[in-house]
């Protein structure tokens, strides 16, 4: 196996573990609320606390990965979040749960930008979309399987024990990553001369980035449009992360043993679509150019997601509702690898800070979504309003792609070559 493909396998595993830890909270939400005596909106507030921490530290995390390398930063990130995964299982009150989830989010911030920074240095440009597809596929496999795995573990271990098991997985990954990975392929013994020549020929980033291009970044139209577009994606995503099991239980009347496989069936479309999106985009680049090749699958995905989610919200038949939910989630996930590949196109050696900015500012809506969804359901007595709001947001996000130009590279300070041992 080529060296860069081994990196991709490790990043795939990282994203799978990331979503096991993140989505575990939604699956255990009912049990956590019952055990700690929390209302629906309080559970949602704890979910939002995670996203607030994530938002605050995402941009610094991306810049640090560009500046000091993904080896150090991803090791630190995974050890931190694994510790707070374990502590979630020790929560004893509403206040402790909110504090733990907030610090969890602080620690996990930078994981996706760190992975993007590694890809920028290990992959040629014509493989960026596909590499991002595999990474995002790992996150969606974890997303799809989490409810099933958590429900199976809850029977013998209880909801607290599940978090302790998942914490161990993160520590193991961090140890393997730190021992094997190097920040550039140029100094890695697993990379042969033929592979290194292939990477060097089209590589968009070599060593570590220099000074962060904050002025250019925060005045760049494409970057700002990326942030706005991604906010619509994350708003919709947090329904699935935070509320899908609860929705299946309360709105569709499913029993707990049915929720795991049903949630997995809804979410598996996202795993397939996230893998397909980047591959489709890369295949379109030679004939259409990078601008149209990124834009077309992303805009089509958002429009499809909006239409199917509106149908899921309004049909009474459970089977049709679940089919439409799956189609909506899959359509939305078509944009994922395309969006992160666009960060690589625009950012070059500053890919980590560009992707961190997009993910951080885009997550502001995600910070509000879990709490506001709970509030909307409590006040209306229905799950229909939050789903229709998400559908409208998807349409706005599709339109924002008209302002994004992946062919225009951000101007950044010269990157610094940094040999490593």
Q: Does 138 map to a domain? A: yes
Q: Does 418 map to a domain? A: no
Q: Does 13 map to a domain? A: yes
Q: Does 87 map to a domain? A: yes
CA distances from 317 to 42, 245, 252, 313, 324 (A): 30, 18, 9, 11, 11
Q: How many other C-beta atoms are found inside a 10 Å radius of the C-beta of residue 380? A: 11
pTM exceeds 0.85 for this model: no
Question: Count H helices, E strands: the chain?
Answer: 16, 0
Question: Which residues make Cβ contacts (< 8 Å) with residue 280, sequence separation at least 6?
Answer: 297, 334
* Tokens (6 digits) for 182: 């190097």
How far is residue 122's CA from residue 216's CA, in Å, rounded to a whole number? 25
pLDDT in tens, the chain (421 residues): 688 889 999 999 998 888 887 778 877 877 888 889 888 778 888 888 887 888 788 777 777 777 778 898 899 989 998 999 999 989 999 999 999 999 988 888 878 888 888 888 888 877 877 888 888 888 878 877 887 788 888 888 888 999 999 999 999 999 999 999 998 888 888 888 888 888 887 665 555 555 556 677 778 899 999 999 999 999 998 888 778 878 888 888 887 667 767 777 777 787 788 778 878 888 888 889 889 999 999 999 999 999 999 999 999 888 898 899 999 999 998 888 888 889 888 887 777 778 778 877 887 887 788 788 888 988 898 899 999 999 999 999 999 999 999 888 777 655 444 434 3
Number of domains the chain contains: 1
- Give the Cα-Cα-Cα angle 231, 27, 144 (nearest 5 degrees): 65
Give per-residue pLDDT as tens, 142-170.
877 887 788 888 888 888 999 999 999 99
How far is residue 230's CA from residue 224's CA, in Å, rounded to a whole number? 10
Q: By residue range, what is the domain housing residue 227?
A: 3-403
CATH number, domain at 26? Answer: 1.20.1250.20
How far is residue 21's CA from residue 395's CA, in Å, rounded to a whole number? 30
How far is residue 350's CA from residue 344's CA, in Å, rounded to a whole number? 8
Q: H helices of 350-404, where? A: 351-362, 364-380, 384-400
Q: Does 342 map to a domain? A: yes
Give me the phi and psi of 416, to 5 degrees please: -100, 130
* Contact in structure between 126 and 290 (CB atoms under 8 Å): no
How far is residue 194's CA from residue 161's CA, in Å, rounded to a whole number? 47
Q: Does 216 map to a domain? A: yes
How far is residue 259's CA from residue 110's CA, in Å, rounded to a whole number? 31
Select from 382, 7, 323, 399 the least CA-distant residue to 183: 7
How far is residue 154's CA from residue 28's CA, in Å, rounded to a whole number? 9
Helix (H) or strand (E) holding 268: helix 256-314
Q: Does 345 map to a domain? A: yes
Q: Does 118 map to a domain? A: yes
- Overall size of the chain counted in residues: 421
How far is residue 233's CA from residue 222's CA, in Å, rounded to a whole number? 16
Question: Which residues make Cβ contacts (< 8 Å) with residue 48, sequence separation at least 6?
Answer: 367, 368, 369, 370, 371
Give per-residue pLDDT as tens, 331-349.
998 888 888 889 888 887 7
């Amino acid at each position: 196996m080529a060296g860069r493909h081994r990196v991709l396998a490790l990043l795939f595993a990282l994203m799978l573990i990331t979503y096991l830890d993140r989505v575990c909270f939604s699956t255990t939400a009912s049990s956590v609320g019952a055990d700690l005596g929390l209302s629906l909106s309080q559970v949602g507030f704890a979910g939002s606390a995670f996203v607030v921490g994530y938002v605050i530290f995402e941009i610094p995390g991306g810049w640090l990965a560009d500046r000091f390398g993904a080896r150090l930063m991803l090791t630190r990130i995974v050890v931190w979040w694994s510790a707070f995964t374990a502590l979630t299982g020790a929560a004893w009150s509403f206040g402790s749960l909110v504090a733990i989830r907030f610090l969890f989010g602080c620690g996990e911030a930078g994981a996706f930008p760190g992975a993007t920074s590694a890809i920028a240095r290990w992959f040629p440009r014509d493989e960026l979309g596909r590499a991002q597809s595999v990474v995002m596929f790992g996150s969606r496999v974890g997303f799809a399987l989490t409810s099933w795995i958590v429900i199976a573990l809850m029977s013998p271990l209880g909801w607290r024990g599940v978090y302790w098991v998942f914490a161990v997985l993160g520590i193991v990954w961090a140890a393997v990553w730190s021992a094997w990975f190097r920040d550039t392929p140029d100094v890695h013994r697993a990379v042969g001369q033929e592979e290194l020549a292939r990477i060097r020929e089209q590589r968009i980033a070599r060593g570590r980035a220099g000074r962060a291009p904050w002025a250019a970044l925060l005045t760049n139209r494409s970057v700002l449009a990326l942030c706005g577009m991604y906010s619509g994606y994350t708003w919709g995503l947090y329904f699935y992360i935070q509320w899908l099991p609860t929705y299946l239980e309360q709105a569709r009347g499913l029993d707990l043993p049915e929720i795991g496989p049903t949630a997995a069936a809804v979410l598996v479309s996202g795993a397939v679509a996230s893998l397909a999106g980047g591959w489709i985009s890369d295949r379109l680049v030679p004939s259409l150019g990078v601008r149209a090749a990124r834009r077309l699958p992303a805009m089509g995905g958002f429009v499809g997601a909006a239409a199917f989610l509106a149908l899921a919200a309004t049909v009474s038949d459970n089977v049709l509702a679940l089919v439409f939910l799956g189609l909506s989630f899959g359509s939305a996930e078509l944009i994922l690898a395309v969006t992160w590949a666009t960060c690589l196109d625009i950012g070059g050696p500053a890919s980590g800070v560009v992707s961190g900015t997009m993910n951080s500012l885009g997550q502001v809506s995600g910070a509000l979504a879990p709490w506001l969804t709970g509030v909307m359901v409590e006040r209306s007595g229905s799950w229909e309003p939050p789903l229709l709001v998400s559908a409208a947001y998807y349409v706005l996000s599709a339109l924002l792609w008209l302002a994004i130009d992946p062919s225009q590279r951000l101007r950044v300070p010269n990157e610094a070559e940094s040999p490593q041992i």
